[in-house]
Amino acid sequence: MLLNSWSALREIASDSGRQAENRPVRSIRLSGLGAAAGEILRDFGLADSAEWEFLINIYRGHPLWLKIIASMIQDLCNSSVAEFCNYGMLPCVDLQDRLEQQLWLAPAAGVQRLSQLEQQVLSAIVGQAEPVSLALLRTILQLSFEDLGNAMLSLERRSLLEKPETYGKETVFSLAPVLREYLQNK
pLDDT of 107 higher than 70: no
Instruction: Count structural domains, the chain.
Output: 2
Instruction: Please say which residue of 73, 90, 107 terminates a domain.
Output: 90
Buried b (16+ CB within 10 A) or exposed e, 56-91: bebbbbbeebbbbbbebbeeebebbbeebbeeebee
**pLDDT tens sequence across 117-139:** 998 999 999 999 889 999 899 99
159 falls in which pLDDT band (50, 70, 90)?
confident
Encode pLDDT of 70-105 as tens digits. Answer: 998 898 889 998 888 887 765 567 777 777 777 765
Q: Name the residue range of residue 73's domain.
A: 34-90
pTM of the model: 0.69
Is 83 domain-assigned?
A: yes
What does the pLDDT average to over 63-69?
A: 88
Is 147 a residue whose pLDDT tops 90? yes
The enclosing domain of 180 has a CATH number of 1.10.10.10
Do 82 and 129 share a domain, yes or no?
no
Whether the Cβ atoms of residue 89 and residue 79 lie closer than 8 Å to each other: no
